[in-house]
A and B are shown apart, each in its own frame.
Chain A
Amino acid sequence: MNVARISNLTVRYGNFTALKDFSCDIPEGCTGLLGPNGAGKTTLIKTLLGFVTPASGRGDLLGLDIAKDGKRIRQTVGLMPEQDCHIPGMTAVGFVALAGELAGMPQAQALRRAHEVLEYCGLGEARYRNVETYSTGMKQRIKLAQALVHGPKLLLLDEPTNGLDPAGREEMLELVRSVSHGKGVNVLVSSHLLPDIERVCDRVIVVMAGQLRAEGLIKDLKRITGQPIDVELRESNSGFVQALSGMGVNIAPPKLTTYRILAPGTPDEIIKLVMTAARQSNAQVRGFSIAQRSLEEAFLDVLTANQ
């Protein structure tokens, strides 16, 4: 079941073609939207919301046509924009309730639901204060709240952790993760912070120069063929390298104190080899795990592979 299906979409701003013959399927669940600046991510989001009319191609979002049913789409989609935005002069509750009413909720329901959503986003008594007095972290939560208030089936988040300090980022990512897993809300997160996406999403879509470059499960993108293993020592030790090579293990030059090795067998077996080598060379092994590319590395690989 796909949340959105896009076929051969072309979007132009005057002479500039932002999306070229773009086709992809956005599955259910939590998906990350990656791509360098100017690749067309924002354009894609705007087109999905029905703001921009495509020059050609079509798209289906939750069964609605993006070219024609813009308003109905915006009723089932919530957008958390990247830039700071709010409606001036209102308290948080007033603002979120108004957002709900604008989405079509009856007035009483909107207020009730605004309180519920603000509670979920972690705003206690502060909800009765004017939004203009809020700190960055609170403003981000309000943006999330106004996107969730009408119970959207798809949540579009644009740089949700922008400007947040480490604790704030933790909390925001937790919120996003818990709303996307198990609550039936599909989420599309656009962000440059790849570890954030790793934390929250299961799949990614990579957009570059207006076209789809890669898509798939994060686990799959991170996997390295051959299952190499990262061994971390307390300090570099040439004796260790020699001992391991002597056992027929392929060992790469270290990054700081981490060595990537490739050997046949299961991790249980390989660890015995590593421990033997460590004993022989008096090295202290501080880590032994299956090597994975970080999402960032995988992403950079995708970008450079296509240049």
Chain B
Amino acid sequence: MASPIADLSYRNYDGPLDPPALRWWVIARAMMNLNLKRRVLWLFVALSGWYYVGMIFVLFIFDQFAASTPAFPGAPNPAKEFFGRIIWKDQFLHGFSYGQMLFMAILLTIGAGSIANDNRANALLVYLSKPISKLDYVMGKWFGVFLPLLLISSVPALVFYLYGALSYSSYGFISSDPWLLVKVMIALPITAAIQASVIVGVSSLFSQGRLAGAAYAGVYFVSNFFTQLMKGTWFGLSHGGGGVPMAKSAVANLFYASFDGINIGIFKAILGTDGSMPFGIPGNAPAVPRPPLLPMLLIGAAISAVCLVVAWSRVRAVEVVG
């Protein structure tokens, strides 16, 4: 008969212990739980899909106009014109590119401290004393940035797609490019993967989330400035008429030499579009042509690989010498 007074002293754990696989998921999950609690993240998330929200609103308005009968037959219908010139795939491009700043903020919020905070708290000593490998750790951190980023960038796009497919198939939403959804769902993970790799690599170089974030933001803005210069140069070259075509295309490709640029460049290349005016505003947008796909993918892959190798080499528990 068991004793009525329980023995609450230490007892050993004899329960189930999973074999050491999928530990990276544990790390990723813990990271995501921690990040989900940060309110500023939700603010950024809410704002990041602003183009899609705006566009849905614009489309809805024009749809109403288009449905109403004209004042007199033969009169021009601006709504119909609007739907005539709108390039559907560009809407996804704009949704993606106009959210870049916010995606950057989100990336910093969830990723800048990912390894940096662990460096400061010496958490690696705890992690590495458990049955996980360095690969689990780096993969877990990477995934903890990649998955939220992917979800945050995909959900508005998918909602928009659904809205468009249901309401505007008569305007050629689906027929203009039947593979559009597939292309978007390929481009988003690729860009999210590159961004996740970069921030994880940068985070591993520092012992403070803030410094890592500042470093990333610094490179981001400096490279953006550079690419704006390139854009200006490109305009100059294209309006000047002459100019060496090779220089022009080189400059055009350099436009994509920034964090945003890589994202947008890959997105454009996969979607197969050069860009146009946002919100269906009439006019010919001076859009820098899209870069070639394969080189962009290779560059993106190379950058990711370098960052991940940096993270890998920086991950080690504290050593005491002597």
**Which A residues are closer than 8 A to B by beta carbons?**
37-38, 42, 49, 51, 70-75, 78-79, 81, 83-90, 94, 98-99, 101-106, 109, 113, 116-117, 119-120, 132, 146-151, 178-179, 183-185
B residues with a Cβ closer than 8 A to A are 8-20, 23, 26-27, 30, 34, 113, 117-118, 120-133, 317-318, 320, 322
- Counting from the closest, the 5 A-B pairs by CB-CB distance are A151-B13, A85-B122, A79-B129, A102-B130, A71-B131
Given the complex, which residues of A lie within 8 Å of B17, measured CB to CB? Answer: 75, 103-105, 150
Additional pairs, 6, CB under 8 Å, beyond known A84-B122, A102-B27, A150-B17? A71-B131, A75-B131, A79-B129, A89-B117, A103-B17, A109-B16
In the bound complex, residues from chain B placing their C-beta under 8 Å from that of A49 are 129
| Residue of B118, B126, B317 touching A146 (CB-CB under 8 A) | B126
CA distance A83 to B26 in the complex (A): 24
Q: Which residues of A contact B130 (CB under 8 A)?
A: 74-75, 99, 102-103
Cα–Cα distance between A82 and B16 once the two chains are bound (Å)? 29
A109 to B13, CA, bound (A): 10
Are B20 and A104 closer than 8 Å at their CB atoms?
A: yes
> B9 contacts A71, CB within 8 Å?
no
Tell me how far the C-beta of B137 lies from the nearest C-beta in chain A, rounded to whole angstroms.
Answer: 10
* Contacts known (A71-B132, A86-B126); A104 close to B19, Cβ less than 8 A: yes
Alpha-carbon distance between A147 and B10 when the two chains are bound, in angstroms: 13
The interface residues of chain B lying within 8 Å CB-to-CB of A103 are 17, 130-131
A154 to chain B, nearest CB (A): 12
Measured in the bound complex, the distance between the Cα atoms of B320 and A196 in whole Å is 23
Across the interface, name the chain B residue whose C-beta is closest to A51: B128
Task: Write out the residue numbers on chain A whose beta carbons fall within 8 Å of the beta carbon of B121.
Answer: 85-88, 132
Measured in the bound complex, the distance between the Cα atoms of B132 and A87 in whole Å is 15
Asked if residues A81 and B131 are in contact (CB atoms below 8 Å), the reply is: no
Q: Is the CB of B117 within 8 A of A102?
A: no
- B13 near A88: Cβ-Cβ < 8 Å: no
Known: A120-B9, A120-B10, A178-B10. A87 touches B131 (CB 8 A): no
* Other-chain contact of A37, B26, B27, B118, B322 (Cβ < 8 Å): B322
Residues of chain B lying within 8 A (CB to CB) of residue A105: 13, 15-18
A-B CB contacts (within 8 Å), total count: 118
Which residues from B are CB-within-8-Å of A150?
A: 13, 17
A98-B322 in contact given A49-B129, A85-B126, A151-B13 (Cβ < 8 Å): no
What is the CA–CA distance of A291 and B133 in the complex, to the nearest angstrom?
51
- Residue on A with the closest CB to B140? A102
Known: A151-B12, A179-B10, A183-B12. A104 touches B125 (CB 8 A): no
Q: Which of B11, B14, B127 contacts A183 (CB 8 A)?
A: B11
Can you sample 29 A-B contacts with CB below 8 Å? Answer: A42-B320, A70-B131, A71-B20, A71-B132, A75-B17, A75-B20, A81-B126, A84-B122, A85-B121, A85-B124, A87-B30, A87-B121, A87-B123, A88-B118, A88-B120, A99-B130, A102-B23, A102-B27, A104-B19, A104-B131, A105-B13, A105-B16, A106-B18, A117-B10, A120-B9, A149-B13, A151-B14, A179-B10, A183-B11
The residue in chain A whose Cβ has the minimal distance to the Cβ of B19 is A104
Q: From residue A64, how far is it (CB to closest CB) to chain B in Å?
A: 11
Q: How far is the CB of B213 from chain A (nearest CB, A)?
A: 15
Question: Of A70, A85, A184, which is within 8 A of B123 by CB?
Answer: A85
A86 CA / B121 CA spacing, docked (Å): 6
CA–CA, A185 and B130, complex, Å: 17
Residue of B nearest to A100 (CB): B13
Q: CB-CB < 8 A to B127: which residues of A?
A: 87, 102
Per the bound structure, the CA–CA distance linking A75 and B133 in Å amounts to 12
* Assembled-state Cα–Cα distance A179/B12 (Å): 9
Give A235 to B322 CA distance when docked, in angstroms: 45
Q: Which of A71, A99, A104, A132 has a CB less than 8 Å from the CB of B126?
A: A99
**Known: A71-B133, A104-B20. Contact between A81 and B13, CB under 8 A?**
no
Q: How far is the CA of A148 from the CA of B322 in the complex (A)?
A: 29
Choose among B9, B124, B128 the residue that contacts A178 (Cβ–Cβ < 8 A): B9
A117 to B19, CA, bound (A): 22
B59 shortest CB reach to chain A, Å: 42
Contact A83 B318 (CB under 8 A): yes
Could you tell me the distance between the alpha carbons of A101 and B131 in the complex, rounded to whole angstroms?
10
A71-B131, A88-B118, A98-B30 are known contacts. Are A83 and B125 too (CB-CB below 8 A)? yes
A35 to chain B, nearest CB (A): 13
